[in-house]
């Protein structure tokens, strides 16, 4: 993140605010490239208020909007949100249907804001199994934002880390069968067949609601991620919580099994690809064609 962006963020946060106090502790040079979030606790949030579980999911949409806006302001390269796991089909049918309805509503309402903020929207998971009308809306949002060069937003839907690895292995086998060449697999081969092949691995994994587990999320990709868990339930997650996570992340010494900070030796080609689109790393090339908006568009409430 550039100093100018930091200044813009501080202007937005307003002098004297908690957001501003926290943001001043951030090192603009060490903003993570990719943040992944396990959004947990919607059901408990609703239960505490004696509301139906789906009220918690509805309230969670505000936190989704806020973290996306924050990531845009902080020039985080990629954000991956775990919205629906392969195991979530076990929930009551009405809850599952409400989640798809909420997602569709979210897409209709927020797409203009995503476009204005230069967000590129993508999904990861076994998308073919989702209701057709949900797939259509997702496709539309992906096409509409495909040329954007700002935040790469990934929503994980019908996602499982193990199924992703199974899909990757099957894709590698299919390619080997087709080419007829002897099969030799290394880490880069697997990384390049994951749903996240175009992205660097997450630097930071955030989980809300206090549970200390990874719940089958990005199992391969979080090998070296820093994990930050908050007791806050997802609908209560605000800008200050993200800033606290980032401050804590910046205090950690990342050794990747070695003795000092150095990226792991095997990285996917995607690292280079995304570095190319993160403003600040490559300002001259990316910004001229598809500039970040100078002032952030507010998503509708
Ligand atoms: C986990 O809480 C949350 C989910 C399974 C769904 C997340 C969905 C949203 C935040 C809303 C819509 C998303 C988008 C991307 C627009 P839980 O129900 O497991 O909570 P609990 O553990 O307290 O029961």
Rounded to the nearest 5 degrees, what angle is found at the Cα of 29, between the Cα atoms of 188 and 286? 65
The answer to which of 226-235, 263-272, 273-282 has the lowest mean pLDDT is 273-282
| Inside any domain, residue 226 | yes
**Residue 178 covered by a domain:** no
For residue 285, the SS3 value is helix
Domain count, the chain: 1
Ligand 1, closest atom to CA 106? 16
Query: Which ligand 1 atom sits closest to the C-alpha of 60?
Result: 10
Q: Residue 115 domain-assigned?
A: yes
Q: Which of 27, 40, 70, 271 is catalytic?
A: 40
* pLDDT-derived band at 287, boundaries 50, 70, 90: very low
Please indicate whether residue 158 is annotated as part of the active site: no
The 3-class secondary structure across 85-135, one letter per residue, is: EHHHHHCCHHHHHHHHHHHHHHHHHHHHHHHHCCCEEEEECCHHHCCHHHH
Give residue 42 CA to ligand 1 midpoint distance, Å.
Answer: 5
Nearest CA to ligand 1 atom 16: 103
Residue 181 has pLDDT above 80, yes or no: yes
Largest Cα span, the chain: 65
Provide, rounded to the nearest whole percent, the portion of the chain with pLDDT above 90. 78
Query: Residue 5: what pLDDT?
Result: 85
pLDDT reading at 285 higher than 80: no
Is a pLDDT exceeding 80 seen at residue 262?
no
The dihedral through the CA atoms of 136, 139, 140, 141 has a sign that is positive
Q: Is the C-beta atom of 38 inside 6 A of ligand 1?
A: no
Q: Confirm whether 191 is domain-assigned.
A: no
**Residue 299: pLDDT band by 50, 70, 90 thresholds?**
low
Q: Is residue 210, in this structure, part of any structural domain at all?
A: yes
Cα separation of 172 and 183, whole Å? 9
Residue 289 lies in a domain: no
Query: Which residues, in sequence order, are CB contacts of 222 under 8 Å at separation 6+?
Result: 36, 201, 202, 205, 214
The mean of the pLDDT values for the chain is 89
Task: Examine the residue annotation and report whether 170 is marked as an active-site residue of this protein.
Answer: no
Cα 109 to Cα 301: distance, rounded to the nearest angstrom: 9
Atom 3, ligand 1: residue with shortest CA distance: 40
CATH number for 108 = 3.40.1180.10
Best of 54, 57, 84 for a ligand 1 pocket test (most atoms within 8 Å of beta carbon): 57
Per-residue pLDDT, averaged over 188-209, amounts to 98
Distance CA 131, CA 101 (A): 10
Question: Is 148 among the domain residues?
Answer: yes
pTM: 0.88
What pLDDT, in 10s, does the model give residues 4-62?
A: 888 888 889 988 999 999 999 999 999 999 999 999 999 999 999 999 999 999 999 99
Domain containing residue 228: 33-159+202-253+273-277
Q: Is residue 298 a part of any domain in this protein? A: no
Please say whether the beta carbons of 115 and 143 come within 8 A.
Answer: no
Rounded to the nearest angstrom, the distance between the alpha carbon of 57 and the centre of ligand 1 is: 5
């Amino acid at each position: 993140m550039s100093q100018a962006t930091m200044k813009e963020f501080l202007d937005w946060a307003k002098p004297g605010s908690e957001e501003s106090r926290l943001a001043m502790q951030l090192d603009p040079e060490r903003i993570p490239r990719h943040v992944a979030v396990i959004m947990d606790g919607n059901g408990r949030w609703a239960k505490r208020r004696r509301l139906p579980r789906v009220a918690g999911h509805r309230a969670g949409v505000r936190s989704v909007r806020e973290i996306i806006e924050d990531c845009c302001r902080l020039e985080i390269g990629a954000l991956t949100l775990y919205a629906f796991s392969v195991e979530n089909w076990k929930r009551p049918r009405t809850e599952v249907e409400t989640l798809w309805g909420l997602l569709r509503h979210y897409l209709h309402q927020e797409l203009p804001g995503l476009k204005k903020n230069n967000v590129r929207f993508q999904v990861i998971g076994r998308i073919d199994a989702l209701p057709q009308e949900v797939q259509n809306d997702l496709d539309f949002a992906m096409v509409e934002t495909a040329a954007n060069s700002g935040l790469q937003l990934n929503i994980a839907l019908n996602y499982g880390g193990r199924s992703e690895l199974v899909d990757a292995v099957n894709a590698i086998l299919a390619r080997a069968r087709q080419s007829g060449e002897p099969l030799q697999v290394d880490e880069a081969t697997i990384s390049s067949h994951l749903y996240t092949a175009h992205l660097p691995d997450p630097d930071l994994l955030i989980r809300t609601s206090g549970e200390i587990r990874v719940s089958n999320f990005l199992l391969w990709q979080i090998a070296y991620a820093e994990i930050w868990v908050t007791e806050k339930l997802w609908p209560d997650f605000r800008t200050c919580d993200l800033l606290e996570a980032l401050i804590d992340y910046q205090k950690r010494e990342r050794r990747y099994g070695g003795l000092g900070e150095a990226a792991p030796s095997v990285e996917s080609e995607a690292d280079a690809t995304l570095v190319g689109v993160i403003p600040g790393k490559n300002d001259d090339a990316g910004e001229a064609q598809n500039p970040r908006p100078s002032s952030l568009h507010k998503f509708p409430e």
